[in-house]
């Protein structure tokens, strides 16, 4: 694993693991896309053209800095404005001071002190129309999500994430 991490970091990427006793481990590898890779992925550029029609400000919350930075970059490249916060309590304070500035909450499920579900409940209590997208590696927890909350199961492709966000934003 340390060799893999070294190789990935030498390419300016990152790797992280989520592990839960009795559930297993999920490894996430993020490697920056090169110009050459972009020409090989016409489906993603098609998705980006469609997204130009939807401009939104996303409140992104994840206590894992690697995930936060990677997802934030993906969203920004896709045309979204992103406020990325590694602390769910701080994110809630920022939201409460700027309730009408955000169009979507995108949060990790498993975070210390205030979980993604708890954060979603707090935010939708103030803004019932706020779309919420929770991403998690733990499929068994989906039943705990508030009504109307959408879910992405990690690992997720960029294309699937952007399609889900677009659908949520266009449905509200």
pLDDT of 139: 64
Contact 63, 91 (CB under 8 A): no
Rounded to the nearest integer, the mean pLDDT of the chain is: 80
Instruction: Kindly indicate the confidence band of residue 44, based on its pLDDT and cuts at 50, 70 and 90.
Output: very low
pLDDT of 1: 72
Which range of 68-77, 86-95, 114-123 scores highest in mean pLDDT? It is 86-95
Residue 24: pLDDT over 90: no
Mean pLDDT over 98-121 rounds to: 92
Contacts for 135-140: CB closer than 8 Å, 24+ residues apart: 135/106, 135/107, 135/108, 135/109, 135/161, 136/108, 136/109, 136/110, 137/18, 137/20, 137/26, 138/20, 138/23, 138/109, 138/110, 140/23
Task: Report phi then psi at 133, rounded to 5.
Answer: -125, 115
Q: What is the pTM of this model?
A: 0.69
Instruction: Kindly indicate the confidence band of residue 143, based on its pLDDT and cuts at 50, 70 and 90.
Output: low
Residue 52: pLDDT over 50: no
């Amino acid at each position: 694993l340390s060799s893999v991490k070294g190789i990935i970091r030498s390419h300016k990427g990152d790797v992280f693991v989520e592990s839960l006793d009795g559930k297993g481990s999920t490894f996430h590898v993020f490697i920056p896309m090169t110009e050459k890779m972009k020409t090989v992925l016409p489906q993603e550029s098609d998705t980006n053209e469609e997204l130009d029609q939807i401009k939104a400000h996303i409140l992104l919350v994840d206590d894992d800095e690697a995930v936060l930075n990677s997802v934030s970059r993906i969203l920004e490249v896709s045309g979204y404005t992103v406020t990325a916060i590694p602390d769910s309590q701080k994110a809630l304070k920022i939201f409460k001071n700027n309730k009408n500035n955000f169009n979507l909450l995108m949060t990790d499920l498993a975070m210390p002190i205030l979980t993604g579900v708890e954060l979603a409940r707090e935010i939708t209590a103030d803004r019932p129309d706020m779309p919420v997208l929770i991403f998690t590696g733990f499929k068994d927890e989906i039943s705990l999500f508030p009504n109307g909350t959408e879910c992405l199961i990690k690992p997720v492709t960029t294309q699937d994430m952007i399609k889900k966000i677009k659908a949520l934003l266009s449905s509200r």
